[in-house]
Structure 1
Amino acid sequence: MARILAIDFGEKRTGIAVTDPLQIIASGLTTVSTTELLEYLRDYVSKEEVELIVIGQPRRMNNEFSEVEQKIQHFINILNKELPQIAVTRVDERFTSKIAFQSMLDGGVKKKDRRKKELLDKVSATVILQSYLYNR
């Protein structure tokens, strides 16, 4: 089996999480600058077998898409051209940041480390991936 990779896309930074090859455990991988995301993904899939990329779908409480959705759609179009062998799916990402922050609190992450937005982005990507694995 191949890994599943999840993305919490942001305008500045993007959190990335990945499963183990058996697709059982979701783990935070890294946070990269969004401008370097495509390059990072190309490099990662050249070293690891990835069968699916899950990208968070940001929605507001009234079910409308947030402003960043246009940028995500643009990125997906590029991603489909650059890595056509890897399927892309979307997962509703409402509340993932809150869930990620609560997970860090519950996990005993120190206040100093909780302030690092990079960590929150990586944990949010993990929450998106866990949501996908749970509901597939």
Structure 2
Amino acid sequence: MGRILAIDYGKKRTGIAVTDPLQMIASALCTVKTYELKKFLEDYLNQEEVEAIVIGEPKQMDYTDSELGGVINAFAGELKEKYPQLSIERVDERFTSKMAFQSMIDSGMKKKQRRDKGMVDQIAAAIILQTYLDKKQRH
């Protein structure tokens, strides 16, 4: 059983989260510059056994694509083509950044630490991944 990787894709930075090999726990992994994301994934997939990649799907409140929707859809298509052995999944990511910020407050992080947007992106990716795991467990 391989890990599941989650991506909170952004214009400048992309948050990455991953499960343990048993796919039980979602953990924030890192933040990468979006222009370095493909190289990061290539390196990571060569080092770790990954079964699926979950990509946050940015939607507006009326369920239409957000500003980055087309870019992310194209990215997901590229991944499916380059890594046909992987399952590429999508998860609604509305409110994940707000939830990530709130979890930072709830965990007692200092204000200076909460300004780290990379940390918010990592936690948002972990929330996307946990949402996917919860949905998978229900089915």
TM-score between both structures, scaled by the size of structure 1: 0.97
1:77 CA displacement:
2.0
Once residues 15 and 112 of structure 2 are traced to their aligned partners in structure 1, the CA distance between those partners, rounded to angstroms, is 19
> Corresponding residue for 2:28?
28
* Partner SS, residue 7 of structure 2: strand
SS of 1:104's partner is: helix
| Aligned ranges 1:60-79 → 2 under 5 Å | 60-79=60-79
Secondary structure of the residue that 1:4 maps to in structure 2? strand
The CA RMSD measured in Å over matched residues stands at: 0.8
How far is the alpha carbon of 1:73 from its aligned partner? 1.2
Q: 1:37-116 counterparts in 2 under 5 A?
A: 37-116=37-116
Query: Given residue 69 of structure 1, which amino acid in structure 2 is its aligned partner?
Result: G
Contiguous gaps of at least 5 residues in structure 1 = none
Distance (whole Å) between structure 1 residues aligned to residue 62 and residue 30 of structure 2? 31
Q: Distance in 2 between matches of 1:11 and 1:83?
A: 23
Q: Give the counterpart letter for 1:36 in structure 2.
A: E
In structure 2, distance between residues paired with 1:83 and 1:30: 21
Deviation (angstroms), 1:105: 0.5
- AA aligned to 1:20 is D
Between 44-53 and 79-88, the greater mean CA deviation after superposition: 79-88
* Matched letter for residue 16 of structure 2: I
Residue correspondences, number: 136
2:100 match: secondary structure: helix
Moved more, 69-78 or 122-131: 69-78
Q: Secondary structure at the match of 2:21?
A: coil
Relative to the length of structure 2, the TM-score reads 0.95
Between the aligned partners of 1:135 and 1:121, the Cα distance in structure 2 is 21
